[in-house]
Structure 1
Amino acid sequence: MSLVRLKIKGISYSQTQNGAYALILNEDQGDRKLPIVIGAFEAQSIAIALEKEIRPPRPLTHDLFKNFSDRFGIVVKQVIIHKLVDGVFYSSIICEREGIEEIIDARTSDAIALALRFDAPIFTYKNILDQAGIFLKFSSKEKDKKDAEGSIMVNEILQEGETVEIESGASDGYTELNLDELKAELLKAVNNEDYEKAAKLRDEISKRN
């Protein structure tokens, strides 16, 4: 079976499952998206890895694993989403130490959080993408905004062949703050380990610069 490389498109709050988030993966050479429902902690960890400017004051669990692996010469080579059963994705982490390769079973959210920290590629099999991949349909208004905004809100997790409308996220009132106030709030959010808020503040600061 042929492998398809995936890129992370973004993370959004899931409107269909309380307290869950949707991780959106995009096929590297195509338009299909692979939405995966993940928990709040895993979403936070992935967001931290994506937001290079946000440094947690203490290592998160996946950061600790990365530090441990670096100390003992373990390298994550790639992550493969290899199975889909009853809506649950199963993944493997391909590791290498002293020239010996090992395959470790992992939850997909954990595997992706680690892949980001090791700059390792993420793959899935073509048949999984054929089964669970979707096309996202943008409204004409959102088409003009989506490149500039850099983030999307997915209203539903869909089955194969269905489409979803895209909407921008709310500003959370940050537009009313000046740049110095935003930076102060960002520092406070990082120190309080409120990384979801920190990411939103960083996005607002980026739009001002």
Structure 2
Amino acid sequence: MSLVRLNIKGISYSQTQNGAYALILNEVDGDRKLPIVIGAFEAQSIAIALEKEIRPPRPLTHDLFKNFSDRFDITVKQVIIHKLVDGVFYSSLICERDKIEEIIDARTSDAIALALRFQAPIFTYKNILDKAGIYLKVNPEKENENETTQPDVLVEDLVAEELESTPSQDDYKGKTLDELNTMLAEAVSNEDYEKAAKIRDEISKR
């Protein structure tokens, strides 16, 4: 199975789960987005790693892991999101010490927080992106703009405005496939990736 490299597009507050955030990963050589729901602590840790100017007075858990690894010459070479089961993503840290490679199981949010600190690339398998990715068409007006290799980071300081609650996943069960596809297109158009991910999961179940 071929690997697809991902960059971090941004973090937004979850509109459907209190205290949760949507981490948006972007296909490097494509236009698909991979939304992953993560907790508040992990969102904060990822946001701090993205914002290079922010330095917490004491090391966070992921910073401690990085300091520990540096002390014992352990390097995280890459992160692979290797499995998707019932809407839950499973990831692995590919680590190296003394030229010996080890694979360590990790929650995807923790794996990405560490990948940022080690400047390690993030990958997923093509079949996972085919199943869970949300495809966005390229805006013709931006097609000719110069692109940089840096990820397009949209961190909203982990503060969201009060938004109207969106339907829960149970509310989607009464919808037809045509209605779900219409709702999916609307959610993607509005860049409501967290809602789009839930609709996508319901469509996949059908």
Q: Provide TM-score, normalisation by structure 2.
A: 0.70
2:23: which partner in 1?
Answer: 23
Question: Helix, strand or coil: the match of 1:166?
Answer: coil
Q: Letter of the aligned partner of 2:94 in structure 1?
A: I
Q: 1:152–1:166: 8 Å Cα contact kept in structure 2?
A: no
Instruction: Give unpaired runs (5+ residues) of structure 1.
Output: 140-148, 168-209
What letter corresponds to residue 40 of structure 1 in structure 2?
Answer: A
Q: How does 1:21-170 map to 2 (within 5 A)?
A: 21-136=21-136, 151=154, 162-163=184-185, 164=188, 165-166=190-191
Look up the SS of the partner of 2:59 in the other structure. Answer: coil
How many residue pairs get aligned? The number is: 159
Relative distance call for 1:13 and 1:136 in structure 2 (3 A) is: farther
Structure 2 contact 112–122 (Cα < 8 Å) conserved:
yes
Higher RCO (CA-CA < 8 Å; seq separation 6+)? 2
Query: Displacement, 1:150?
Result: 5.9
Any conservation in 2 of the 1:138–1:166 contact (CA below 8 Å)? no
Q: CA deviation at 1:17?
A: 1.2
Distance in 2, matches of 1:40 and 1:77, equals: 26
CA contact (8 A) 2:31 2:138 kept: no
Distance 1:45 1:88 in 2: 20
Given the superposition, is the C-alpha separation of residues 152 and 64 from structure 1 closer, same or farther in structure 2, using an over 3 Å criterion? Answer: closer
What is the deviation of 1:136?
A: 4.7
Q: What is the CA-CA distance between 1:16 and the residue it aligns to?
A: 1.5
Instruction: Give the RMSD, CA atoms, in angstroms.
Output: 3.0
Cα gap change, 1:54/1:125 in structure 2, threshold over 3 Å: closer, same or farther?
same
Sequence identity (%)? 80
CA contact (8 A) 1:34 1:129 kept: yes
Q: Are the structure 2 counterparts of residues 76 and 150 from structure 1 closer, same or farther at C-alpha, using a change threshold of 3 Å?
A: closer
CA shift for structure 1 position 166: 3.2
Pairwise CA distance, 1:18 = 1.3
